[in-house]
Structure 1
Amino acid sequence: MGPLSRRGLLLGGLTLAGGGFLAGGLGLDEAWAIDGPTIISCDGWGSRRNRGVLPVYDRRPVKILVHHTATPNAKVTTRDAAVRLARSIQNFHMDRRGWPDTGQHFTVSRGGIVLEGRHRSLEFVRVGRWQVEGAHCTGQNVVAIGIENEGTYTAVNPPGVLWEKLRSLCAYLCGQYRIRPTQIFGHRDFKDTACPGDKLYAALPRLRSEVAGLLGQKLKKATVDPVAWPLLRIADRGQRVLAAQHLLRAAGVPGIVPDGRFTRELADAVRAFQAERGFGRDDPDLDSGDGPNGMIGGETWPALARPVRAGEGGEAQRAVEVLLRGRNKPVPDVVTPEIWQRLLTP
C-alpha cells in the first residue's frame, strides 16, 4: 500500500479518509441516545478477515438504506441459522462480487438476530463517529448505513420479530449518528431494483414514524412518506410508463413506441440504455444478477429526467404533458429533478 495522504489514517486494516466532520463531536443528548439491540459482531459469528484496506471516513452517515436479501423466507430462525446467513452473504460478496468484505454494515435475520456485516461497523457506531465505506448501493456507500433483512418481501410482510429489531436498530443508528428518521430509504430509491420488496418498501413510512417515536420525536405526514422515484417494470402500464417512453426517445434510445405499456421489448431497450451507462452492477442481494435488469428506478430515472424548460418542445416536454394530464396545474417554467419526482408521484 502506498503512503497515505495528510488527511488519511490507517486504523487496523482500514483507511481513514478525509472530508466531513466527526460525529463524535456532536454532543449527543438523551433525546437522541438510546440503547440499541444486541448485535453479534463479526468476530462473534466467525467472519473471514477482510481483504486489504477498508476505507473509513471522518464524516457521519446521513441516511439508512433498507435492503432485503431476496432469499427464501426461511422457517428456521435460530442463532445458528443467522450465523450461516451472515457467512453465506460474506462468501457471496467476497468470492462472487470480489469485494474485500461483506457489503452491508448490518444484517437482521428472520429470527430477529442482528449481526454486524462489514468489519468495525459496530465499533464506530458505538462511539458515534466515523463510517466504514460499504458496498451496498452505488453512490450511497460513504453517506448511508446499509441494513440487509433476511428474506423476500415482495408479496409478504417481514415477520414481527424482524420488524421489531429493524426498528430498534434504525433508532439506535439514528441516535448515535444523529440521522433523521426521515432519512430512512429503500434500496430502490437509488438503484434500479425491486429491493427491499414491495411490502417492506411500502412499510417504510411506518418505519420512519416508529423510529421517530422511539427517539421521542413526531414526524409530519409529508416527511414520513417523502417523494421518491417510482419503480417501473414489466407488466406496468399507464401515464408514468408513457412518460418514461418519451424520455427514452428523448435520450436517443431506438425502437421505443410510446404506448404506455411496459413490455419485455421495452425492458430490453432499457437494459441496453443502462448497460451503456454502467448501471445495475454489483448489487448486494444474494439472487441479483451481474448486470442491468431493465427496471426503471432510482438509478435510471435521474439519467432520463433532465431539466425541461416550458415551450422547448420535443419528447421530454411530451413526457411532462403526459404527467400533467388531469391535474389542472400549469406547466412549470423549468421541470427540475425534484419536480419530476412530484409529477411521477400518483
Structure 2
Amino acid sequence: MVRGGVTRRSFLVGGLTLAGTGLVGGTIASGRAWAAAPAGPAIIDCAGWGARPNSAVVPIWNQRPVKILVHHTATPNVADLSRGSAESLARGIQKFHMDVRGWLDTGQHFTVSRGGFVLEGRHRSLEVLQAGQRQVEGAHCTGQNVVAVGIENEGTYLSVNPPGALWDSLRALCVLICSRYGIRPTEIYGHRDFKNTACPGDRLYGMLPRLRTEVARGLGRPLVEGEADKESWPLLRPGDRGPQVQAAQYLLRAAGMREVAPSGRYDRLTAAAVLRFQELTQAEDVGMIGGETWPVLARTVRRDAGGDAERAVEVLAAQRGTESVPDVVTPREWRRLLGTGGAPADTSTDPEGPPR
C-alpha cells in the first residue's frame, strides 16, 4: 500500500489483533470508559461484529491524521436497518478486502450503516482514535491512507440522499474524530477529491458542505460564510457534455491525445483517450476524469503560450463571462474557471513528512 511518502522515523509497528470487546452506548464492555467528544456515537469494535483476525501486522504511524475522507460502499440501499444487518455488512466488506483485494484487513477505519450503527473497520482504529495521537494506516484511498481517516457509508448515493440515521451517525462520528485529532471540519473530503471515482455518490458528495457546517457546529466552532465549500475538481463521465468536457478535451490534445475532437461531448474517442492518458500517468483506469487525473491534466499554462492548453482556458473563460483570467493559470485558477473553486485546503495542520 502507498505510504504517502512518510518518513521512516514516523512509523511505529503495530501488532496482530486477535480479539477485543464490543462498544455499546459509549462505554467499552469491559468497563473501561470511553471519553467521547460531544455527541460521540457508540462504536461497535471488530470483535463486536465478528471480524476475522487481520492477516499481517497493522501499520500504525506516529502522527495524527489531518483530514477525513467520506466514501459510500456502492452496495444496495437495503431496507434492513438492524444491527445484525450492519454487522453482516462489515463482515462482507472485510471478506472482499482480504480475499479478493488481498489486503491484510478491512481497508477503511470506520463504517456507518444505513440504520446508523457505527462499526470499527480496520483493527485497532478505535483504540488508536481513543488515544488521539497516532494513525492506523488504511487502504481506502491511494496517497491518503496515512493522513486521512476513511469512513465508509452503507449504500449508493448517486441519486438519493442517505437516510437520516446514517447522516446523524456520520456527523457524530466526524465530530468525535475531529475532536480527538484536532482536525478542522473544513478538512472533510469525498473520495472523488483524490481519485477518479464517483464515490461517495453525487448526492452524498453534494452534502459535504452541510456536513462540514454541522460538524463545526457540533464542535462549537461555526464556519464563516463560504468556508464550507472546498476547492475540488469536477467529475466528468462518458455521456457528459459542456464547456468542462470541451476544456478537458483540449487538455487531452495538449497532452498528446490528438485523436480527441474538442466537441464538448464525452464520446467514445474521448473515453478511450482518457483511459490511455490514465495508463500513461499510472492512474486508476476507470474512464472518468476526477480528482486523480485533473491535477495532472490541468497543468500550469501561460495564456499567451498558444495551442490547445490555451484554448482550454479560453473555453472556460468564455463561460465565466466578465471574470478576469490571469496570465498564468495555476491549478487553483483552473478550479475557479471550472466552477469548483471554493475555499482552499487548510495545510496548517499537516504533519512533517507526508505530502497531501
Instruction: Calculate the TM-score normalised by the size of structure 2.
Output: 0.85
The alpha carbon displacement at 1:127 in A equals 1.1
Q: Which amino acid letter does the alignment assign opposite residue 251 of structure 2?
A: L
Unaligned stretches of 5+ in structure 1? 15-31, 281-291
Q: Mapping of 1:165-180 within 5 angstroms?
A: 165-180=169-184
Counterpart pick for 1:336 among 320, 326, 330: 330
The alpha carbon displacement at 1:276 in A equals 2.4
Q: Mapping of 1:1-346 within 5 angstroms?
A: 8-13=11-16, 33-280=37-284, 292-326=285-319, 327-345=321-339
Distance in 2 between the 1:90 and 1:75 partners?
21
Q: Secondary structure at the match of 1:146?
A: strand
Q: Which amino acid letter does the alignment assign opposite residue 91 of structure 1?
A: K
Distance in 2 between the 1:33 and 1:77 partners?
25
Identity %: 62
- In the alignment, is the contact (CA less than 8 A) between 1:188 and 1:196 conserved in 2? yes
The C-alpha deviation readout for 1:286-314, integer Å capped at 9, x for no partner, is xxxxxx22111000101101110231111
Distance in 1 between the 2:269 and 2:88 partners?
39
Moved over 6 A (4+): none
Unaligned stretches of 5+ in structure 2? 1-7, 18-35, 341-356
Distance in 2 between the 1:109 and 1:266 partners?
37
Distance in 2 between the 1:264 and 1:6 partners?
48
The alpha carbon displacement at 1:64 in A equals 0.5
Q: Secondary structure at the match of 1:90?
A: helix
Q: Which amino acid letter does the alignment assign opposite residue 200 of structure 2?
A: P
- In the alignment, is the contact (CA less than 8 A) between 2:303 and 2:313 conserved in 1? no
The alpha carbon displacement at 1:275 in A equals 2.1
Task: From the superposition, tell whether residues 6 and 295 of structure 1 become closer, same or farther in structure 2 (CA, over 3 Å).
Answer: closer
Distance in 2 between the 1:10 and 1:209 partners?
36
Distance in 1 between the 2:147 and 2:245 partners?
31
The C-alpha deviation readout for 1:309-339, integer Å capped at 9, x for no partner, is 2311111111111111152233312111111
Number of equivalenced pairs: 314
Q: Which amino acid letter does the alignment assign opposite residue 320 of structure 1?
A: V
Q: Secondary structure at the match of 2:226?
A: helix
The alpha carbon displacement at 1:221 in A equals 2.9
- In the alignment, is the contact (CA less than 8 A) between 1:227 and 1:345 conserved in 2? no
Q: Which amino acid letter does the alignment assign opposite residue 288 of structure 2?
A: M
Distance in 2 between the 1:277 and 1:311 partners?
26
- In the alignment, is the contact (CA less than 8 A) between 1:107 and 1:117 conserved in 2? yes
Q: Secondary structure at the match of 2:291?
A: coil
| Structural RMSD (CA) | 1.6
The alpha carbon displacement at 1:274 in A equals 1.1
Task: From the superposition, tell whether residues 9 and 329 of structure 1 become closer, same or farther in structure 2 (CA, over 3 Å).
Answer: closer
Instruction: Calculate the TM-score normalised by the size of structure 1.
Output: 0.87
